[in-house]
Structure 1
Amino acid sequence: MGAGQVDAKKLERLRERYGRPDGDLEADVPFREALKQAVDSDLHQKKPYGDPPTLLDFPHIEDWAGLDVALVGVPMDLGVTNRPGARFGPRALRAIERVGPYHPTYNLVPANVLRCADVGDVPFRSRFSLEKSIEDI
């Protein structure tokens, strides 16, 4: 078989699994179970640009109590020379378009197993003092 060619049997298996009219991955039982966690009763996912952006699309909660996973942004680039921009990292990560909440390795939606939230950014006392910023972190 040359470059760019697909094994006929493999292609047929792919067509059987994914080439159905509904186009869904419903044949994959673990995925189907995770899909139920990721959509509402009408099989609609959350609109990707409908809410303010958060890290991994987790809810924004300022109270850390009871969280299993707290994602916090650290918008600071005082420790680098001639390479500013790290301070924009949390904002950029929040703005990334994500494909969905499903984790294919574990066949689950992490936010349905753990209590997760984006708790915002570290509030820095000074944007000019590296020492104070490190203390704040």
Structure 2
Amino acid sequence: MALEDAKTEIDHAFTRPDLKGLSFENAFAGAPSFLRRRYGKDLTGVDIAVTGIPFDQAVTNRPGARLGPRAIREASALQPFDPPYGWDGFSPLEELAILDYGDMAFD
């Protein structure tokens, strides 16, 4: 995927052809998935599955913890295009198959 693809393709959370590699999508567009990884429930070939737990019950008069997984996904949209620093030649986004499993149904 190249930087030019960011101008023509959005919603990599649904349209990514593979689970590995850097992602070039505008941070302000598309569905917010963790590090612009693909959403899915099929764990075949997945090295890391990330899931959120939106849970607000353990707070008193300070609701909002349930919005944490969504905020982390939105903030991580700024990172997936840039190779990581300090990994000494290892790029987790290019070498590991990472999937956003979505949020858990927790009530």
- TM-score, with normalisation over the residues of structure 2? 0.66
Q: Whose radius of gyration is greater, 1 or 2?
A: 1
1:102 corresponds to: 83
Match of 2:41 among 62, 68, 81: 62
Question: Which of the pair is proportionally richer in strand?
Answer: 2
| CA RMSD between the two structures | 2.4
* 1:92 Cα deviation after fit: 1.1
Higher RCO (CA 8 Å, separation ≥ 6 residues) = 2
Extract unaligned runs of 5+ from structure 1. 1-38, 127-137
Deviation readout 1:52-100 (Å, 9 max, x if unpaired):
1111221112222321111101000111222211100011111224143
Of 106, 120, 124, 2:102 maps to 120
Of Structure 1 and Structure 2, which has the larger fraction of its residues in helix?
Answer: 1
Task: Name the aligned partner's letter for residue 105 of structure 1.
Answer: G
Q: Equivalences for 1:1-137 in 2 at 5 Å? A: 40=2, 45-96=24-75, 97-99=77-79, 100-106=81-87, 107-124=89-106, 126=107
Aligned residues: 87
Structure 2 unmatched runs, 5+: 7-23
Q: Give the fraction of aligned pairs with identical amino acids, expressed as a percent.
A: 32
Q: Residue 101 and residue 41 in structure 1: after superposition, are their counterparts in 2 closer, same or farther (change >3 A)?
A: closer
- The answer as to whether partners of 1:73 and 1:122 remain within 8 angstroms in 2 is yes
Contact 1:68 1:116 in 2 (8 A): yes
